[in-house]
Amino acid sequence: MAQEPLVEKRVFQLPRFTTQSGRTLKDVRIGWESYGRLNADKSNAVLICHFFSGTSHAAGRYAASDAEAGYWDAIIGPGKAIDTDRWFVLSSDTLVNLNTGDPRVTTTGPASLDPETGRAYGPDFPVVTIADFVAVQKALVESLGITRLAMVAGPSMGSLQTYEWAVSHPEMVGKAMAVIGAAEADAQLIGWLDVWSAPIRLDPNWNGGAYYDGAPPEAGLARALTAMTLQANHGDWVNATFGRRPAVEGTDPASALSARFQVQSVLDNAGELRARLCDANHFLYLAKANQLFVAGGRSLEDAMQRLRAPLLVISHPRDLVFPEAMVLRTVEAARAAGRVVTHLNIEGKRGHLDGVMSMKQAEGAIRAFLEG
């Protein structure tokens, strides 16, 4: 097995980009990275799309001293399921990426400066969709001379982008691997995304999204991240990890309203730390893009009729974000349309997050699907 090289982060720029809503943005920028080499006829490209709170960092390390590798490093790299000795793998930050405080993230969104005014867009930034994310990715892919992707894949919000690619650009997608996601957002997901977003809107510092000249709504964002994190983890993991232990040993949570359980304290602390690297408006814009999602802007049945790529659908039967019934609606619609579909369940106590953290168990199926 070849030694894994370090990853280089790059920036892709579009002088002008027109959103699905008809707004034209200038100087649109996203970060991207790649693993492996593009072959002479540019036929070995695999695109990885990231999840809601993720970035382009799907595999490898930026520096040898990095404590952790990219989120799908278990399946992307030399000799792994998506073998970078054979495949050229690329991944990009989405528009309105959540992680605006990460120095390695480049993304255009409401926190960006509007070239026309020199001030942050704030709430004047247009509503963007999963289709907009894909349109920018398509421009990046085409800038590299790639006309067809061997596979598009991604977990959670990355699976939404995968379906959008396969339905809107069927001629460019050889295969599609959708992990812990579905081809449309149903009413339950729309409602939960609103629950995640509510603490931001209730934070007085949010100010309708116009907060870039003052204090950001960090408290509301922290609580939003806490709600998101809790739902992304199944109760099996939460109960096994925290139980009913108090936040402070020897302090009974019944002793005062301020006395807490460990699970409350740990989740809140994690949310507060994460909020320092994120932007509240970007969270809201991401939530809106997910709520609006139907692959190709069509009904589920029409979308599956347009899809041509063979599908590998990987899900968790106890996923609380994309419940099994929601995933199965997509699988059944694809099969009813005569599509080639392989459906695989993964295991683990995390639930939804097992589609990010426990993918090694699916490496045999992924390798066979990609290379078959």
Task: Give catalytic residues, as residue numbers.
Answer: 156, 319, 352
Handedness of CA 199, 92, 46, 74 (dihedral sign): negative
What letter would DSSP give residue 353? G
Query: How many CB atoms sit inside 10 A of residue 73's CB?
Result: 19
Amino acid at 264: Q
Report the candidate in 45, 52, 240, 253 with the shortest Cα–Cα distance to residue 161.
Answer: 52
The angle at the Cα of 293, spanning 288 to 297, to the nearest 5 degrees, equals: 130
The whole-angstrom separation of Cα 48 and Cα 96 is: 17
Q: How far is CA 60 from CA 76, 178, 236, in A?
A: 8, 21, 30
Buried b (16+ CB within 10 A) or exposed e, 3-14: ebeebebeebeb
Distance of CA 200 to the CA centre of its chain: 20
Report the candidate in 296, 344, 9, 14 with the shortest Cα–Cα distance to residue 165.
Answer: 296
Amino acid at 102: D
Report residue 273 as tokens: 């730390």
- Helices in 80-180 by DSSP H: which ranges? 130-143, 157-168
φ/ψ of 240, rounded to 5, equals -70, -30
Query: How many CB atoms sit inside 10 A of residue 270's CB?
Result: 14
The whole-angstrom separation of Cα 276 and Cα 63 is: 23
Q: How far is CA 41 from CA 141, 170, 172, 265, 290, in A?
A: 14, 20, 15, 53, 35
Report residue 154 as tokens: 């991604």
The whole-angstrom separation of Cα 184 and Cα 112 is: 29
The whole-angstrom separation of Cα 262 and Cα 238 is: 11
Report residue 227 as tokens: 């709600």
